[in-house]
Amino acid sequence: MNWSSASAFFDMGGYGLYVWGAYAVTGVAMLVEPWLARRRLRQALRDVATQPIQD
Amino acid sequence: MTIRWSTFSAPSRFVWLAAKVNPWLWAVTIALSLAALYVGFFVAPTDATQGEAYRIIFIHVPAAWMSMVIYLAMAFWAAVGWMLNARMAAMLAHSLAPTGALMTFIALWTGSFWGRPAWGTWWVWDARLTSELILLFLYLGYMALKSSIDDTVRGDKASALLAIVGAVNVPIIYFSVRWWNTLHQGATISMTAAPKMAHTMLLAMLLMTFAFWAYAFAMSFTRASAIALEREQHTDWARQWALDGSSIRASKP
């Protein structure tokens, strides 16, 4: 185990800002992108379903 | 059982395959990234010279690898789409661009947050950093070019040309640390030499790399399905899929 306490974990040996700044942005980006893509897919399905039939 | 993969070049069957495979890809992404975070923060030891700041490597290197791999995949599918006039290949190329751009951004962002404590600067015009920034501009230029041309076929061809020409940049990024005497350190993993890092550090990095791979596949499948439905919204297959997707999803292609 690397960390004696929770605050030691968040402090990251004094590099907390850098480590968590890197991980937080990565985490948010990799949650937002799937959300946007799934929204686009649902919208595409809705658009198709409401298309008038063409013959 | 043999699978004829060419079957999935039809958008209708591709969308079916994507819907089948995606839940598993997401499960793999979540499981592997949690495992990577656990090994990376609780098992891997503190680095002797860099202290805890080095732990950024567990996302920095996988993102940087993916930024290059996704670009090559995008250029490959763009070329296939152009040469063979394959609809699904061009859509796959488009589906990869935003994820590739995001991976490039993450590589640059995490690199900056690592460079500050390690080198004392957020940014330097070093060959590795500059060529990776050019990669981001290539992705953004590709997406802008495609969306600026209304005609689908012309947009596919113009953006394919950009993707193929821009692929020259990928080996430049990869070999930049060898060709130029740069601030950025050399390759973390080499095919010819034994890894220089502790096994647990390597394990965390590889777990995160496989998580990012699964993520990229899932993102590409989701977005390619959306593009296929957008482009072929007047077709019978798209209509059937949208109206009765749940029953088709349970069936065979």
Tokens of A3: 């960390």
Q: What's the mean pLDDT when you consider all of chain B?
A: 91
Mutant choice from A18, A32, A35 vs B, greatest count of B C-beta within 10 A: A18
Q: Which of A42, B155, B241, B114 is nearest to B249 (CA)?
A: B241
pLDDT of B112 strictly over 60:
yes
* Cβ atoms B207, B53 nearer than 8 A: no
Report the pLDDT value the prediction gives residue B185, as an integer from 0 to 100: 81
pLDDT of B194 strictly over 80:
no
Does the distance separating the beta carbons of B59 and A26 come in below 8 Å?
yes
Q: How many domains does chain A have?
A: 1
Cα–Cα distance measured from residue B35 to residue B32, given in angstroms and rounded to the nearest whole number: 5
Does the distance separating the beta carbons of A48 and B106 come in below 8 Å?
no
Q: Give a yes or no: residue A7 inside a domain.
A: no
pTM of the predicted structure, to 2 decimals = 0.91
Residues B37-60: what's their mean pLDDT?
93
H-helix or E-strand spanning residue B18:
helix B11-38
Cα–Cα distance measured from residue A43 to residue A36, given in angstroms and rounded to the nearest whole number: 10
pLDDT-flagged residues of chain A (< 50): none
Contacts of A41 in chain B (CB under 8 A): 222-223, 225-226, 229
Report the pLDDT value the prediction gives residue B198, as an integer from 0 to 100: 81
Cα–Cα distance measured from residue B19 to residue A4, given in angstroms and rounded to the nearest whole number: 45
Residue at A43: amino acid letter:
Q
What is the DSSP track for chain A? ---SSHHHHHHGGGTHHHHHHHHHHHHHHHHHHHHHHHHHHHHHHHHHHTSPP--
Q: Give a yes or no: residue A20 inside a domain.
A: yes
Cα–Cα distance measured from residue B115 to residue B128, given in angstroms and rounded to the nearest whole number: 13
A10 touches chain B (CB under 8 A): no
Rounded to the nearest 5°, which phi and psi values hold at B241? Answer: -65, -45
What is the DSSP track for B29-88? HHHHHHHHHHIIIIISPPBTTTBGGGGGHHHHHHHHHHHHHHHHHHHHHHHHHHHH--HH
pLDDT of B197 strictly over 80:
no
Report the pLDDT value the prediction gives residue B184, as an integer from 0 to 100: 87
Give pLDDT tens digits for B154-184: 999 999 999 999 999 999 999 998 888 778 8
Give pLDDT tens digits for B18-30: 999 999 999 999 9
Q: Which of B160, B163, B111 is nearest to B137 (CA)?
A: B163
Q: Give a yes or no: residue A22 inside a domain.
A: yes
Q: Which of B95, B102, B229, B253 is nearest to B163 (CA)?
A: B95
What is the DSSP track for B86-129? -HHHHHHHHHHHHHHHHHHHHHHHHHHHHHHHHHS-S----HHH
Residues B101-118: what's their mean pLDDT?
96
Q: Give a yes or no: residue A25 inside a domain.
A: yes
pLDDT of B244 strictly over 90:
no
User: How far away is chain A from the Cα of B177, in angstroms, using its nearest Cα?
Assistant: 23
Contacts of B42 in chain A (CB under 8 A): 1-3
Instruction: Please state the length of chain A.
Output: 55
Does the distance separating the beta carbons of A29 and B243 come in below 8 Å?
no
B219 touches chain A (CB under 8 A): yes
Q: Which of B3, B5, B22 is nearest to B226 (CA)?
A: B22
B149 contact partners, CB below 8 Å, separation of at least 6: B155, B158, B159
Cα–Cα distance measured from residue B137 to residue B128, given in angstroms and rounded to the nearest whole number: 15
Q: Which of B153, B162, B155, B110 is nearest to B134 (CA)?
A: B162
Give pLDDT tens digits for B202-235: 999 999 999 999 999 999 999 999 999 999 988 8
pLDDT of B41 strictly over 70:
yes
Residue A21, domain extent: 16-48
Q: Give a yes or no: residue A27 inside a domain.
A: yes
Does the distance separating the beta carbons of B239 and A49 come in below 8 Å?
yes
Report the pLDDT value the prediction gives residue B77, as an integer from 0 to 100: 97
Q: Give a yes or no: residue A5 inside a domain.
A: no
Report the pLDDT value the prediction gives residue B49, as an integer from 0 to 100: 85
Contacts of A25 in chain B (CB under 8 A): 106, 109-110
